[in-house]
Structures are given as structure tokens and as C-alpha cells.
Structure 1
Amino acid sequence: MTVETTRIKGLTIAALGVLFITPDALLVKITSVDPVVFVFWRGLLLAISFYVISWLRYRSRLVPEIRKCGWKGLFCAGAFAISTLGFVVGMKNTAAGNVLVILNTAPVIAAVIAWAVWKETLPLRTWAIILVCVTGATFMAIGEWGKGNPLGLIMAFVAATALASNLNMARSKPDSDMSVMLMFGALLLAAVAALAGGAHIPSPRDSFFIALLCLVFLPMACILIQIGPRYIPAAEVSLMLLLETVLGSFLVWLFLGEVPPRLSLIGGVIVFSALAVHGWVEVRRYRRSRTQLINPDPAREDTHY
């Protein structure tokens, strides 16, 4: 598999994960349960979903695959639990736009961690896309900043840092499928919430939305996003998650009436356009590399004689 083919595969996997995770903000906001109750059921249902999907993928090879992940897999599981907790508590304590905007710092955090810890550098074009997207996210934040409890903002930043750390750790061991460790992170999340008094049965309405999110959308989203760093840098996986800022905020506005200000709309257009250009450039590079492999330049062949 060529480098360009690997990059396209990674970007496609990450993009599909983002599409599955887009309803997350809406379904978190639409429920009326306490955050600790929501976290308990989110963790428990996700643990079941992750186990079923992992077993279907690996069957008798599941245990060896888990052991192969080692201590780095345990780190990813813990970071996943922390990022999920931060996201849910953030959503319950401040505007959805605030949380999604702070999560936009994840690509920068991931790039800094990759450079400082793993000595991995990014192409200038990727840095350019990150800077443009962060600029767009800043526009989105201006209109909504300050709404809600400061705890929500703090927990959103914790979620962004944990997410970036998780993806970087997964990137550091590409020969292992860290998605099989997510079930342990989800179980840890459920256990912490249960100790905090979250083991209560929600209303039928809230139970429906929680089940819809945690049994349908989130399992595939989390697994695809966790697999992404096996093929592309963690910062690029985080970069694809910026698409959720635009689509997630749009769904919250459409169904819950949290109308974004004009600057937020401008920022959303900037983020969406930058990611579209990024995808277009990567597809062109992939097609060019395939063309060169299929039809090599005759002039280059002549230089060998």
C-alpha cells in the first residue's frame, strides 16, 4: 500500500467516524437527565456495543489482540473515558457551540504532543489547514463565549486534551488496533458514574435517545476514529473532527433553536471550506500517484540506459 493510498484510507475512515458522531451534541442536549446518569448509561451501553463489535471482528483472536495493545491500550482506554466525561459534562453546563469550539483545539494539541513526545512533524499544508480551521472556530466562539457555567468550558478543554493524547498514543503503535480497548474505557466511565449515584433508569423518552446514541451512532463513530491514527497522524484525525463543529451546531440549531450568530455562520463556512479543500487536495495527490504507478514517465525510464 502506497503512502498516498494509506492517507486516503485514513482520511476516509476518520471522515466516516465524524459523520456517525455528528448527532452526539444534539442527543446529549435533548435529554433531560442529570449528567452523571447520562454518563452511566453512555458508558454501560457503549461498553456492550464495543464488545459486540470487537467480538464480531476478531472472534477467537480478540483476547490476543487486546494483549497486543499493552499498556498503551490501557492509556487509550483511560483517555477515552476522560474525554467522554469532559464532553458530556461540558454539554450539560454550557452552550453546545462552546464545547464544540473548544474541542477544535484538539488538532493543535495533538500536533504539539506528536512533535514534543513522538518527534513527528506535519506537512506545511496540514498546518495551514489547521490554522485556517482554528481561525474559523474562533469566529464561531466569539458570539457564544461566556454563556453557561465555566465548569462546562473547563471540562471541554479536558476533553480536547484527552482526545489528542488518546489519538497520539494510538498513532505510536500502528500495528495494534486500539479500538478493542474502548470497551474498558467505557466500563471505567460507567463505574465512576455509578459510584457517583448515576445508576438510575431514565424516563422512556430519555432512554430512547440515549439508546439511539450509544447503540447506533457512537459505537461506529468511536471505533472508526480510534482506527484512524493507524493510517494518518493524530492531528489529522482531530482535524477531521472539526467537521462535527459545523454539522453538530447545525443540528442543535435546527432541532433545539440555539440560533448561531452571524460570526458563527461565517466561521462554520471557513471550517467546512478548509476541510473540503483539504480533502480535494488529498484526492488529487492520490490520483496523481496512481497515475504515475500505472503509467510511469518514459523519460525517466530512458535515464537508466
Structure 2
Amino acid sequence: MKISPYVFGLTAVLTATVALSTAGLMTRLITMDAPTLLFWRGIISGAFLLLCLLVWKGRGVRGDFARLGFSGLAICIASATSATLFISALHETTVAHVAIIFATCPFLAAGLGFAVLGERPGRGALVASSVAMAGVLLMIGTGDEGSLFGDILAFAMTATVALWTVLVRRYPNKPVLACSVLSTLLTAAFAVPFAAPLAVSGHDLAVVVLFAVFGFSLGVVLLIIGSRALPPVESALIGALDAPLAPFLVWLFVGEVPSVTTLVGGTVVLSAVTLHVVSTTMFNRSACQT
């Protein structure tokens, strides 16, 4: 049975969200500072993705990079900037704060999607986004966790992710792996003046390798592919699943216990996203049958 583009995009973005939600756990398992982590993760991810690109394309690799152009470079810069802000925020505030602030991305993506692409988000997506935002406000309402500087970094990261989502939708013909390779290498280039790449332990480097390949690299590729098949607001809305997932993983493996409001708010966000995805999928199936 042939899978519809929407279902394929939905599956890809959901899988990517789970993979990318492990970034907070990675930062808690190592003692590496943010610039050094960004450098090593960028180098490792870039090398791995470049190897995949060479295996897949062979001599066509040059053509892929040549086709990036200014629009492709803008996508790569947005991706590298968001990754830099993301890791920096995780070092300055709690995983829960970074995750729940990122859950506001649907609102930014919806506004940018309408302004740039002229795509009006459906009423269901807007309602689900509002419910998700209510969960976010509930989680951060106590004000006794995180730091102001870290939260500002997280908000800046959220804005660049929303911009990246819209750019990917606006320029769907850009080569996926070439964009991924360049963005990860740009992340390393941004960090290298402030990093100490040789002052790391073998344990920390092994953890970064594991997460860079199976978390970050896999997640980014799937997110790029999946975002092309979904409206920006829906891609960002599914990404809001990071809000409950990231703190849950940190609690499960490291014992960083989230507050009661974080647990309740995360449940609200998760419920909003799940109900929206299920209802949209059922609507698309009924439309295809008719």
C-alpha cells in the first residue's frame, strides 16, 4: 500500500522529534562545555552525514552543494544558529525550560508561514496550538526553575527553528543531505574560537559520538524530509512533543526531577499534539476515500 505524503511526513517528523529530544540528556551525561560540545558534535555529525552523502550520490556530491545557492545557505545558517542557541540554552537553564519554550514554536511558525508562504493554518491546528501554549504557560508559571539568560537563549532558538521550518517549506528542492552537512560544519565553525576540543575525556567523546550520529544526525535529516510534506505550523506543533519528552528522558536516566507543574503542563502539550495529529490523519484518510 502506497503511503501518502502526509503520513510519510508525519512519521518522519515524529521520529525526528523523539531523536532530537535526547539532546538534553546528552548534555547531562557529560561535563563538556557548550562550545566544545558544539564543535565535536558538528564535526562528528558533519563527517557522518558527508559519508552518507558520498555513498548515496558518489560523484554527484559536488552538484548537490552547487545547487544550494543563497536560499540553501540561508537554510543552513538558520539550522546552525538554532543548534548553537539550543546547546547554549541547555547549559544555562533546565532541560524542561528549554523544551517547553520550544513548544511555542507553532505560533511563530504559523505567523511566518502565513507571511512568507501565504498558508493559512487550519482552525484545528490553531486550537491545538493554543492548548499547547496553555500547557507551556502552566509549566513556566512558577518561575522557580531555570535562568533568565538561558530562557532568552531558548526563545531565540525557537525563533530560528520557526524560520528554518518556513525556509525548508519555501525552498523544497534543496538537497537534504548537503544542507545537513553544511549546517553541522557551520555549527562547528561558529564554536571553534571558544572551544577546547583536546581537553575532553574519552567518556565524554564517546557519548557525543553516540548522540551525534543516532540522535542529532538522524533527527535533522528526518525533520528536513518530513517538514517538506507538512505545513510549517503542523511540523512545529509535532515538535512540541519535545516539551514532555526531553524532561522525561533526563528524569529517567539522570534523575533530574521536574516540578509538578512541568508534569501537568507537559501532559497538556502532549494531549493537544496527539489529538490534533490523530484527528488530522483521520480527516485525510476520509478525504482520500471520497
TM-score band w.r.t. shorter chain: over 0.9
Q: How many residues align?
A: 289
* Residues 1:265 and 1:26: Cα distance change in structure 2 (over 3 Å): same
Aligned to 2:285: 287
Aligned to 2:208: 210
2:104 maps to amino acid: T
TM-score (ref. length: structure 1) = 0.88
* Residues 1:188 and 1:20: Cα distance change in structure 2 (over 3 Å): same
Per-residue deviation, 1:92: 0.5
- Provide structure 2 residue ranges, at least 5 long, that are not aligned to the other structure: none
Out of 252, 256, 274, the residue aligned to residue 258 of structure 1 is 256
Structure 2 Cα separation of the partners of residues 282 and 52 of structure 1 = 37
CA contact (8 A) 1:17 1:225 kept: yes
Per-residue deviation, 1:123: 0.9
Structure 2 Cα separation of the partners of residues 166 and 212 of structure 1 = 25
Structure 2 Cα separation of the partners of residues 154 and 213 of structure 1 = 25
Q: Deviations over 1:144-169 (max 9, x none)?
A: x3534432112111111111111111
- The question of 1:119 aligning with 2:83 is answered no
CA contact (8 A) 1:14 1:225 kept: yes
Aligned to 1:84: 83
Structure 1 Cα separation of the partners of residues 113 and 137 of structure 2 = 23
More displaced, 233-242 or 52-61?
Answer: 52-61
SS in 1 for 2:4: helix
- Provide structure 1 residue ranges, at least 5 long, that are not aligned to the other structure: 293-305
Structure 1 Cα separation of the partners of residues 219 and 101 of structure 2 = 20
Aligned to 1:150: 148
Aligned to 2:172: 174
- The question of 1:140 aligning with 2:139 is answered yes
Per-residue deviation, 1:179: 4.2
2:245 maps to amino acid: L
TM-score (ref. length: structure 2) = 0.93
Structure 1 Cα separation of the partners of residues 276 and 111 of structure 2 = 20
1:11-160 → structure 2 map (5 Å cutoff)? 11-143=10-142, 145-160=143-158
CA contact (8 A) 2:96 2:247 kept: yes
Per-residue deviation, 1:48: 0.9
Structure 1 Cα separation of the partners of residues 175 and 129 of structure 2 = 26
Aligned to 1:249: 247
Structure 1 Cα separation of the partners of residues 244 and 267 of structure 2 = 8
* Residues 1:197 and 1:16: Cα distance change in structure 2 (over 3 Å): closer
SS in 1 for 2:145: coil
CA contact (8 A) 2:103 2:241 kept: no
